[in-house]
Amino acid sequence: MVSHRARWAIRASSLLVALLAIVASLPSRASAQYFGRNKVQYEKFNWKILRSDHFDNFFYPPESLIVHDYARMAERWYTRHSDTFRHAFDRKSLIFYADHADFEQTNVVNEDLAEGIEGVTEGLRTRVIMPFNGIYADNDHVLGHELVHVFQYNIAEGAPGGGLARLNALPGWLIEGMAEYFSLGRNDPLTAMWMRDAVMRNKFPTVKQLTTDPRFFPYRYGQALWAYVGGKWGDRAIIDVYRAALRVGWDAALVRVLGINNDSLSKEWAAANRAMYLPQIAGRVKPDSEGKTIIALGKKMSEQQNVSPSVSPDGNYLAFVTQRNLFTTDVYIADAHTGRLIKKLGGPESDPHFDAISFINSSGGWSPDASKFAFIVYASGNNEIAILNTRNSSVERRIKLPGIGALSHVSWSPDGRTLAISGQHGGIGDLFLLDLQTEQIRQLTNDRNAEIQPAWSPDGRTIAFATDRGPETDFNTMVFSPLQIATIDVASGAIRVYSPFPHAKHNINPQWTPDGRELYFVSDPDGIPNIFRLNLGTNDVRRVTNVATGVSGITSISPTLTVSQKTGRVLFTVFQAQGFTIRALEPDQAIGEPAVLTDGGQLLTASALPPGDVTRSMVLTYLADPIDGLASGNDFKVTPYHASFSLDALGQPSVGVVAGGPFGTGVAGGVSAFFGDQLSDQMIATAIQANGTVRDIGGAVYYTNLRNRWNYGAGLEHVPYLTGGIFYGVDTINGNLFPTINQVLERIYIDQASVFSQYPFDQTRRVEFNVSATRLGFQAEVDKLIVDQSFSQVLAEQRQSLPAPPAIYYAQPEIAFVGDNSFAAYTSPVAGQRYRLSYSPTVGNISFQTALADYRRYFFIRPTTLAFRALHYGRYGKDSESNRISPLYLGEETLIRGYGFGSINNDECLNGQTQQSSCPVFDRMLGSRLGVVNLELRIPVIGSTEFGLLNFPFLPTEIAPFFDGGVAYTSNQAPDFRFSTSAADANSRVSKNCQNQTPTNQNNFIISCTDRIPVFSTGLSARINFLGYMIFEAYFAHPFQRPGKSWVWGFQLAPGW
């Protein structure tokens, strides 16, 4: 902020770049970024470590009952993957969270962890971070999946030629598909459903399309592709392809290992899928023909995710979850007969009191009179029950359940007094009852088994649910039965398990018939999930649907079925065209026909991925052997966790010599290093940089602590700025005049200590407290070369120090209130709002106060956005207009386009017309206070099918007609709100303003002697996102208050405001 004299040439120390990189790398919670959402540490976790042979298993006390189980399973996965990859490592960290809401608070990764993310493997230390979901089999799969990534990272670290960089360049189908195949195998009804859908639509992708087209989900298609490669060439070939891909890329690796290029592999793979699935599809019902369409697929991808259906008891209304506004997941209500959308019931954008809706493995429930709807939300670091008034769409009640960290699937009792809920505590899932009048909680089950998707019987005496209480479940060998259908007597707690299809992968989502004698449920006895009907008295099973793709939600256990308790009408989601449509069957259509009980062989045939004749498979062998590698756990030890720092990452070191040039000869180079504890709760970032002589060595160190709700940190830095210029003169030697070349070198040393902190109220609002103490030191010297008249020979060289201003000392405390619930697209924010209010006094050798108010609102009118900004930035107090600090410039291109600092030239100025030479076009842009208003219409011309007029996601481009306006003013010159573009008017106003202005050594005369009219511009802006690395903006603007200019071009590297 301190002003500098005019320069002919400038070279700022490149340490600034290193410092900016450090600040950018620090989590936003501590480094006080201008905007941005918060990752909130709602809870303080008392971490401990369970040490097994190859892993440090991090957990906290609520998980004590089950962490031992997962440590045993981790060792089993280590044995499996170590044999598969033919690779070993010493010790890695597994960080377990009791539920997803806790998992979202992790500091190990700084990204937001949406509900669909079931685990993460970070790349710096290859730590696995995952939550429990209350279902052992699901968690075992996620653990196996993430440990594949650990082996992938570990192998890449030792690969020659930058293996980690090559790993990051490999496509998702290769990396994620391998992790799915090695953890699930080739018998997977969910992935088989995706393949049948592609075959049925005759849109089976090529390998190249999997690599470039985001429409093809890499987990499902990648798993299927590797199953084909493993089935034909053997599972070892998969590892060989991966290792080769780290050296030569995936395409060449296929040729080198398999002897086949990607085009030929694509044709063979597609042919194998058609050969397997077309016979299965024959004779089954097309997904758009089973029952009546209620909610159809939309054209946009966000309109294809219609899930978690829940029909009102009278059968008139349907609540479901969708992402129709593109950025948030919301609950909508529709006419259950016609599908007409009636209203949006709720979502995080319309209700800021909760962060997200739980929907992947959960659905809501209606009150008996359909006046209320209960659903699960994420709020304040836990799940809560939100009860919504369906008539006015307002959340009239939110209920926290103490001691229950995660909730899913709400079912309302027939008398309206009680909610049945599937909940978790410490990673264990159980059933709970909530009395709505007293908010008393009753725990129905208490064991390690999974209990999900409760549904009340019509008489209110029994609850049906899905559970892994099958004959195969054995917690000694860590083997778990497929989910079965069960009922529990509410009064006695007696449980009865039904196993209509013992060999099915899943039996889920029980729903009662209105008479309470039968249960509808979803099962995959032949490898394809469909609706069946179980008679509880006779155990007879009837098939209700026979959809060729499947009756399914997002995952294999997502709720997909709902039944009206008064009419018996059945509504369900069907997988179609990679999306989900909601369909309905009338009661007479849902009677079904007797189901043929199948054996395991038929199931394997229907759910197996091509090729289907695989009899020997390394993956199948180890998945069928639960004993090999399973540790007993008898020698596991629990120790307290003590934070200690170790190296996370080392910036690329550089060193060099600067020879000649306007700043002489010196050294250049630097290095940065990042340290953290094992949970990334505390971090240290350091940098040192040399860029010239010893005087130009700088450094910085920052510390951040993110362990608690209060995030705080501190920093020290020494930054030298070297500036200078060259001018020519004359000097004498022995009485003779000779030309001189004078190189002026001026240094500004910034020495600063800072402390920063923030307290997030929730994910969108926070308060910041920061303070810094700064010393600005100055040093100047001149190197004079006396040369002959031809400038070809140096006759003498002199160096002397120049007078420098005294050092400046000042401190700057700051308080800020920040809110941000905006959503960004490729180049700009496009929905929601942002605001920042801050106040910062500066005390010391200079004294003034800085106030900022910045409000931005984005009205999303799909696909366009009307963006609005109003901003005030001002300095107040004694030295707010001192000549020791640079004035504010209104024409910064991030504020008002068309008035760039370097774009105004002399022929636009007035000379000799006033008491002081003046340039109103330029001078009116300078002041101690600014007011700015902007308006843009953002049009995504090029983007994706979801967000863009043209589908080309590799170069997203936005055009935006804009209008910018603002005014700069001072303490003694208020804004003159007159619209004028005349140079003559400006001349008159400047002459009048300058009459009584006398320059002093203390004030900036330039900002006191000019007119103060607002300036405006309008034009067209284009922003381009270059491969996600930078956003380039070019604009063509008409600046109204530059009479000498009609239209001007401008450029900047910055996202839209």
For residue 981, the model assigns a pLDDT of: 72
For residue 119, the model assigns a pLDDT of: 96
Tokens 């000019």 locate to 1010
Question: Are the beta carbons of 449 and 488 closer than 8 angstroms?
Answer: no
Q: Within 10 Å of residue 124's Cβ, how many Cβ atoms?
A: 15
Instruction: Return the CATH class of domain 48-169+621-640.
Output: alpha beta
- Segment 771-792 shows an average pLDDT of 90
pTM to 2 decimals? 0.89
Structure token pair of residue 283: 């004779």
Tokens 């009860």 locate to 387
- Segment 659-680 shows an average pLDDT of 71
CA distance 23 to 161: 29
Please choose, from the candidates 536, 545, 531, the residue with its C-alpha nearest in 3D space to the C-alpha of residue 517: 536
CA distance 253 to 1012: 67
Please choose, from the candidates 821, 823, 824, 825, the residue with its C-alpha nearest in 3D space to the C-alpha of residue 835: 821
CA distance 1013 to 992: 14
Q: Within 10 Å of residue 249's Cβ, how many Cβ atoms?
A: 13
pLDDT band at 348; cut points 50, 70, 90:
low
Question: Are the beta carbons of 664 and 783 closer than 8 angstroms?
Answer: yes
pLDDT band at 596; cut points 50, 70, 90:
confident
CA distance 491 to 1040: 79
Structure token pair of residue 1: 């902020």
Angle among Cα 924, 930, 935 to the nearest 5 degrees reads 100
Backbone angles phi, psi at 477, to 5 degrees: -100, 0
Rg (CA), the chain: 34
- 821-1057: same fold as 48-169+621-640? no
Residue 990 vs residue 71, higher pLDDT = 71
Q: Give me the residues paired with residue 310 across strands.
A: 319
The pairing of beta strand 55-59 with beta strand 92-97 = parallel
What are the sequence ranges of the domains in the chain? 48-169+621-640, 292-597, 821-1057
CA distance 560 to 817: 43
Cis, bond preceding 611 (omega within 30 deg of 0): yes
315-319 — which CB contacts under 8 Å span 24+ positions?
A: 315/564, 315/566, 315/567, 315/569, 316/370, 317/342, 317/366, 317/370, 317/390, 318/294, 318/562, 318/571, 318/582, 319/345, 319/364, 319/366, 319/373, 319/375
- Segment 166-186 shows an average pLDDT of 96
pLDDT band at 653; cut points 50, 70, 90:
low
CA distances from 275 to 202, 229, 270, 872, 1034 (A): 13, 16, 9, 67, 53
SS3 breakdown of the chain: % helix, strand, coil, rounded to 5? 20, 40, 40
- Segment 539-556 shows an average pLDDT of 96
Residue type, 537: G
Q: Collapsing DSSP states into helix, strand and coil, what is residue 509?
A: strand
Tokens 């730590």 locate to 127
pLDDT band at 668; cut points 50, 70, 90:
low
- Segment 609-619 shows an average pLDDT of 89
Residue 1038 has pLDDT above 90, yes or no: yes
pLDDT band at 983; cut points 50, 70, 90:
low
Residue 990 has pLDDT above 60, yes or no: no
Q: Collapsing DSSP states into helix, strand and coil, what is residue 260?
A: coil
CA distance 678 to 662: 47
pLDDT band at 351; cut points 50, 70, 90:
low
For residue 992, the model assigns a pLDDT of: 57
Residue 563 vs residue 499, higher pLDDT = 563
Please choose, from the candidates 687, 686, 696, the residue with its C-alpha nearest in 3D space to the C-alpha of residue 658: 696
- Fold annotation for 292-597: Neuraminidase (2.120.10)
Range of lowest pLDDT (237-251, 744-758, 893-907):
893-907
For residue 1002, the model assigns a pLDDT of: 52
Q: Collapsing DSSP states into helix, strand and coil, what is residue 858?
A: strand
CATH of 821-1057, one of 1.10.10.10, 3.10.20.310, 2.40.160.50, 3.30.750.24: 2.40.160.50
Question: Are the beta carbons of 582 and 309 closer than 8 angstroms?
Answer: yes
CA distance 188 to 527: 8
Please choose, from the candidates 191, 1038, 1007, the residue with its C-alpha nearest in 3D space to the C-alpha of residue 575: 191
Angle among Cα 269, 274, 279 to the nearest 5 degrees reads 145
**Helices (runs of H) and strands (runs of E) counted in the chain:** 17, 55
Structure token pair of residue 967: 């005014």
CA distances from 1027 to 70, 163, 172, 735, 738 (A): 40, 21, 17, 64, 56
- Segment 692-696 shows an average pLDDT of 80
Question: Are the beta carbons of 190 and 552 closer than 8 angstroms?
Answer: yes
- Segment 137-159 shows an average pLDDT of 96
For residue 658, the model assigns a pLDDT of: 47
Q: Which helix (H) or strand (E) holds 920?
A: helix 920-923
Longest dimension (CA), the chain: 123
- Segment 695-707 shows an average pLDDT of 93
Please choose, from the candidates 275, 281, 236, the residue with its C-alpha nearest in 3D space to the C-alpha of residue 609: 275
Burial of 450 (0-12, 13-18, 19+ CB in 10 A): buried
Question: Using N-to-C axis directions, what is the helix angle for 189-200 and 218-233, rounded to 10°?
Answer: 100
- Segment 768-788 shows an average pLDDT of 92
Q: How far is CA 1037 from the centre of its chain?
A: 34
Q: Give the end-to-end CA distance of the chain in Å, rounded to a whole number.
A: 22
For residue 326, the model assigns a pLDDT of: 79
For residue 207, the model assigns a pLDDT of: 98
Torsion of CA 686, 691, 692, 695, to 10 degrees: -30
Structure token pair of residue 195: 């393949």
pLDDT band at 330; cut points 50, 70, 90:
confident
Q: Within 10 Å of residue 432's Cβ, how many Cβ atoms?
A: 22
Residue 210 vs residue 616, higher pLDDT = 210
Cis, bond preceding 863 (omega within 30 deg of 0): yes
Question: Are the beta carbons of 62 and 403 closer than 8 angstroms?
Answer: no
Please choose, from the candidates 886, 879, 868, the residue with its C-alpha nearest in 3D space to the C-alpha of residue 925: 886
pLDDT in tens, 572-582: 999 999 999 99
- Segment 675-689 shows an average pLDDT of 94
3-state secondary structure 932-994: EEEEEEEEEEEECCCCCCEECCCCCEEEEEEEEEEEEEECCECCCCCCCCCHHHHHHHHHHHH
pLDDT in tens, 1017-1026: 999 999 999 9
Q: Give me the residues paired with residue 718 across strands.
A: 699, 751
Residue type, 192: A
- Counting residues of the chain whose pLDDT is more than 90, the rounded percentage is 69
For residue 431, the model assigns a pLDDT of: 98
The pairing of beta strand 929-943 with beta strand 950-951 = parallel
Residue 694 has pLDDT above 70, yes or no: yes
Q: Which helix (H) or strand (E) holds 207?
A: helix 207-212
pLDDT band at 382; cut points 50, 70, 90:
confident
Range of lowest pLDDT (165-169, 206-210, 335-339):
165-169
Angle among Cα 603, 142, 600 to the nearest 5 degrees reads 10
Instruction: Provide the 8-state DSSP code for 1001.
Output: S
Question: Are the beta carbons of 147 and 129 closer than 8 angstroms?
Answer: no
Residue 1037 vs residue 30, higher pLDDT = 1037
CA distance 88 to 68: 22
Q: Collapsing DSSP states into helix, strand and coil, what is residue 256?
A: helix
pLDDT in tens, 792-841: 888 888 888 888 889 999 999 999 999 999 999 999 999 999 999 999 99
CA distance 736 to 748: 36
- Segment 714-729 shows an average pLDDT of 88
Q: Collapsing DSSP states into helix, strand and coil, what is residue 828?
A: coil
For residue 730, the model assigns a pLDDT of: 86
Instruction: Provide the 8-state DSSP code for 547.
Output: B
pLDDT in tens, 451-510: 999 999 999 999 999 999 988 999 999 999 999 999 999 999 999 999 899 889 999 999
For residue 428, the model assigns a pLDDT of: 96
The secondary structure of 50-99 as a DSSP string is EE-SSEEEEE-GGGTTTHHHHHHHHHHHHHHHHHHHT---S-EEEEEESS
CA distance 210 to 227: 15
Residue 327 has pLDDT above 90, yes or no: no
For residue 597, the model assigns a pLDDT of: 64
Question: Using N-to-C axis directions, what is the helix angle for 189-200 and 600-607, rounded to 10°?
Answer: 50
Tokens 């005349």 locate to 982
The secondary structure of 598-650 as a DSSP string is --HHHHHHHHBPSSTT----HHHHHHT-SSTT----TT-EEEE-----EEEEE
